[in-house]
Amino acid sequence: MRARYTAFTLKDEAYLLASWHPSSRPQPPLFDTSPPKWIGLQVRAHRPLDADHAEVEFVARYRIGGRAQRLHETSRFVREHGLWYYVDGDIHEGNGDEGTP
């Protein structure tokens, strides 16, 4: 999770695409002309479901147009051939300033 967050902060599209499971991987480009400025990550929980499946709950803070926002998500990961891949996630709604950038 931390590696993917760092890849978002660095706009490392190649790493993000490589770490995204093929079943849910979006088409590039991942970044538009005005991507958010990421300003913090808090991992709230890590839940192994079995040897090859896990969930990570996190809050990532970012700014768009000078306005601070946050993304609160529970992400699902799967391990295949020894590598972990992001599959998808559920966005936690709540305070009106959350959403996928």
* Domains and their CATH numbers in the chain: 2-91 (3.10.450.50)
Is residue 39 predicted with pLDDT exceeding 50? yes
According to DSSP, residue 71 is labeled E
Is residue 97 predicted with pLDDT exceeding 80? no
Mean pLDDT of 4-30: 95
* 23: CB partners within 8 A, 6+ apart: 87
Pairing of strands 37-50, 53-64: antiparallel
Q: What is the pLDDT of residue 89?
A: 97
Assess contact for 34 and 1: CB atoms under 8 A.
Answer: no
Is residue 17 predicted with pLDDT exceeding 50? yes
Q: ∠ CA(63), CA(57), CA(42), 5° rounding?
A: 45
Query: Both tokens of residue 35?
Result: 């991507």
